Amino acid sequence: MARHMGEQKKETVGTVERKMTDIVMECRNLSKIYGKIIAVKDVSLKIGEGEIKLIFGPSGSGKSTFLRCLAMLIKPTKGEVFLRGECLTKSGVDLNKARARIGFVFQHIWLFHHLTALGNVELALRRVLKLPKKEARERAMQALREVKMEKWAHHYPAQLSGGQQQRVGIARALARNPDIILLDEPTSALDPELTGEVIDTLRDLAKKGTTMLIVSHEMPFAREVADEMIFFDEGAIVETEPPEIFFTNPRSERAKIFMARLIKRTRRE
Amino acid sequence: MLDVVQQLLLMLGGVYTTLSVSILSFLLGLTIGLPLAFMRAYGSKPFQILIDGFEKVFRGIPELVLMLLFYWGIGYYFRTPFKNPFFTATFVLGLRSAANQSQIFRGAIRGIGEEQMLAARSLGLSRIRSVIHVMLPQVFISSTPGLGSEYALLVKDSSYAWIIAVIDIMAITDWIRKGTGDTVTPYLLAALLYILLTFPIATWLDTWGSRKKKQLGL
């Protein structure tokens, strides 16, 4: 079923015309340099409405840094970031307003310890979107329902399992109805038996046509939902292809070696 | 000769002053110490050096020396307000407490870490709103045990104020000793009173804070 839905979505979104007009997020020649270390090197990328792109590559290859640059959580050293055509990297942009339109899910989740699941999701609705209490509560509950966590609304993060915490983390990111959700290895800090529930949540979001850029090494999931996969190494994009190509015959030697290793590992699991 | 009950009743007259000096200096310490901790954590280098200097000076000098220095030394040049013993005692204890509380809060900020701040900023909260809604509540919970000890320290150290003629528990104790020649009972009673004023609150704050921290995984 999920597979079928995924294909349907691709048909509607995948047309060239749609991609040209509805670019949600774009970066041009983005670089991030720390002293002598080049963490991100000259990366350009476009994500269209309803598209799901998946970034993968060796650890330490700058994927996280790149994602944080896109969310303007780190200031890029060079290059431009656009959100719905609006340039975020020029001076004088209200970055708080821009960040409010970008959902971000962290690898280590980072829920607010002192707030319940509901409180975590509600915070931005109340203090960023400035919704009245009742409306904020309703929308937060709605977001928790989407990740199937409404029963746990009044639990504190410390009382939840890692998988449940990450689902709240996803609800927190999507409650504001952001233009795009960026997910930084949302399952890699979890125990293997807990990744499934998070992947299911992401699959649900994919079915609803949520625009997402995901850093992940969950290959079966990638194959199922990604419109495009991006192989990242040494701070730069090495190869961009539809999943099928990566799984059958990647062009670059580095991607070939990396894919072989990943598929072996996934099989073992 | 006064009996134990009469002595105790006399000394109770000093409890109000002891508590006033302690609580007011605690609040002064909080008002100065909390912003200092955040400025130390997020401010620029010169700020950090300045705040470190302030902390070193006020934590390094004995309370008694500070009190006499402000009362006699600085009070010589600025009679108002420093020749008011109650003011000077509260002020000096408050500054030292600011230095202590700044360190307590800074430890809590460091413990909570940059991640919470980053998560807050990712939602579109401004820096100041992130501090108010995400950092502050956690900083307070984390700091509660430390703040309990700080309060106990202030109640105990407020007894130095007797030397600049603040009429607190200690001052009355000394009067009774002088007046009656009883060198044992007044001090025992004073010891009891100080324990009663510090122990229950400090212990309660410590237990509550530790339990809350554990519960929230802080």
> What digits encode the pLDDT tens for the residues B52-88?
999 999 999 999 999 999 999 999 999 889 999 999 9
DSSP string, B141-176: HHHHHHHHHHHHHHHHHGGGGGGGT--SHHHHHHHH
To the nearest whole angstrom, how far is the Cα of B121 from the nearest Cα of chain A? 7
CB contact under 8 Å between B137 and A114, yes or no, is yes
Residues on chain B touching A104 (C-beta within 8 angstroms): 122
To the nearest whole angstrom, how far is the Cα of B154 from the nearest Cα of chain A? 29
The partner residue sitting opposite B216, judged by closest CB among A104, A114, A127, is A114
Q: CA-CA distance, A81 to A40, in Å (whole number)?
A: 14
Q: Strand A37-48 relative to strand A23-34: parallel, antiparallel, unpaired?
A: antiparallel
So what's the pLDDT on residue A21? 54
Q: Environment class of residue A133 by beta-carbon count within 10 Å: exposed (0-12), middle (13-18) or buried (19+)? A: exposed
Contact A246, A253 (CB under 8 A): no
Domains in chain B (CATH in brackets) are 17-166 (1.10.3720.10)
Contact B85, B165 (CB under 8 A): yes
Residue A113: CB partners within 8 Å, gap ≥ 6?
A156, A157, A158, B112, B116, B138, B216, B217, B218
The secondary element (H helix, E strand) that includes residue A32 is strand A23-34
Residue environment code for B116-146, b if the CB has 16+ CB neighbours within 10 A, otherwise e: bbbbbbbbbbbeebbbebbbbebbbbbbbbb
The partner residue sitting opposite A112, judged by closest CB among B116, B124, B215, is B116
Q: CA-CA distance, B128 to A193, in Å (whole number)?
A: 39
Residues on chain B touching A102 (C-beta within 8 angstroms): 122
Q: Strand A228-233 relative to strand A52-56: parallel, antiparallel, unpaired?
A: parallel
Low-confidence ranges of chain B (pLDDT < 50): none
Residues on chain A touching B130 (C-beta within 8 angstroms): none
A155 in reach of chain B (CB within 8 A): no
A113 in reach of chain B (CB within 8 A): yes
Contact A76, A30 (CB under 8 A): yes
pLDDT tens column, A55-111: 999 988 999 999 999 999 999 999 999 999 999 999 999 999 999 999 999 999 999
SS3 content of chain B, % helix, strand, coil (to 5): 90, 0, 10
A52 in reach of chain B (CB within 8 A): no
Q: What is the pLDDT along chain A (269 residues), one digit of tens a residue?
A: 444 444 444 444 444 444 445 899 999 999 999 999 999 999 999 999 999 999 999 988 999 999 999 999 999 999 999 999 999 999 999 999 999 999 999 999 999 999 999 999 999 999 999 999 999 999 999 999 999 999 999 999 999 999 999 999 999 999 999 999 999 999 999 998 899 999 999 999 999 999 999 999 999 999 999 999 999 999 999 999 999 999 998 999 999 999 988 888 877 76
- ipTM, two decimals: 0.88
Contact A209, A18 (CB under 8 A): no
Residues on chain B touching A75 (C-beta within 8 angstroms): none
Q: CA-CA distance, A232 to A54, in Å (whole number)?
A: 10
Q: Which of B152, B130, B113, B196 is nearest to B23 (CA)?
A: B152
DSSP string, A121-147: HHHHHHHTS---HHHHHHHHHHHHHHT
For an interface test with B, give the residue of A110, A179, A184 to mutate (most B CBs within 10 A). A110
Q: What angle do CA B79, B80, B81 make, to 5 degrees?
A: 120
To the nearest whole angstrom, how far is the Cα of A156 from the nearest Cα of chain B? 7
Nearest residue of chain A to residue B123 (CA atoms): A100
CB contact under 8 Å between A108 and B115, yes or no, is yes
Nearest residue of chain A to residue B118 (CA atoms): A73
So what's the pLDDT on residue B1? 63
- Residue for token pair 């409890």: B15
So what's the pLDDT on residue A268? 76
Tokens found for residue B105 = 């809060």
Architecture of domain A2-101+179-268: 3-Layer(aba) Sandwich (3.40)
Q: Number of helices (H) and strands (E), helices first, in chain B? A: 11, 0
Q: How many contacts, defined by CB atoms under 8 Å, are there between A and B?
A: 70
The partner residue sitting opposite A99, judged by closest CB among B121, B133, B138, is B121
For an interface test with A, give the residue of B123, B127, B212, B218 to mutate (most A CBs within 10 A). B123
The secondary element (H helix, E strand) that includes residue A235 is none
So what's the pLDDT on residue B77? 94
- Residue for token pair 């701040």: B117
Q: CA-CA distance, A119 to A200, in Å (whole number)?
A: 23
